[in-house]
Amino acid sequence: MIVLGVLLALGAQQAVEEMRIRDEVETFRETIDREIALNLYTYDVRVRQHGCIVDVLGQVERWLGQARSGDPVPGMETSGPYALSPYRSAWDNRNAAVFQHLPAALRTKYAEFYDELDNNSRLITVEGEAWNRLNPYAEPGPLPLRDRRTIRAIIKQAAYLDATLVDNVEVSRGIARELGVDMARPDGMPAELDIRLVRCDPAVADS
């Protein structure tokens, strides 16, 4: 009877532990899925500017063409695409033991999404740096050949990064669909952001 009692107690303890783990896994999935949903929104903000970016780069291209004559050109000023910071605290602070209780395929998909997030975050940083290199050309005046070559390289880099990010976002969206996660707008996100994304300010005053 003592042995039976011990076995029953151990069995009950194991059942309680399994229930605890299931609850922690469920909580983790809810938390990480919410974070992915918010990251889908940050991606949406970025790719909704694709058309404007193409338009602005076209303006800069035409402005550069005007500068070939050697005559002064108007100032060119653009801040480049707007980007929200990614959400990743849930992923970075995940409990390794809880994560290991997820099915292997699920762990792989979560890891894929955040690998993509890391890569895209680096691309967005490089993209911002490229657009910032256009800041010195806000003043009107003639453009020497060296500057024209520099700007030409920036245009190509910005166009490449924009196209790459648009493609990469589709990959991330596909991973999210496999996880059953839909985009969610962050709480408190101002409505003015949507107005800003619709507006496409010209890079050159007379464009």
Q: How distant, in Å, are the alpha carbons of 60, 155, 172, 182 from that of 78?
A: 10, 12, 28, 32
Quick one: pLDDT at residue 207? 47
pLDDT of residue 7: 46
Contacts of 158 (CB under 8 A, 6+ apart): 53, 57, 80, 127, 130, 131
The structure's pTM equals 0.87
* Averaged pLDDT, 94-110: 92
Got the DSSP string for 28-65?
HHHHHHHHHHHHHHHHHHHHTTHHHHHHHHHHHHHHHH
Is the pLDDT assigned to residue 163 strictly greater than 70? yes
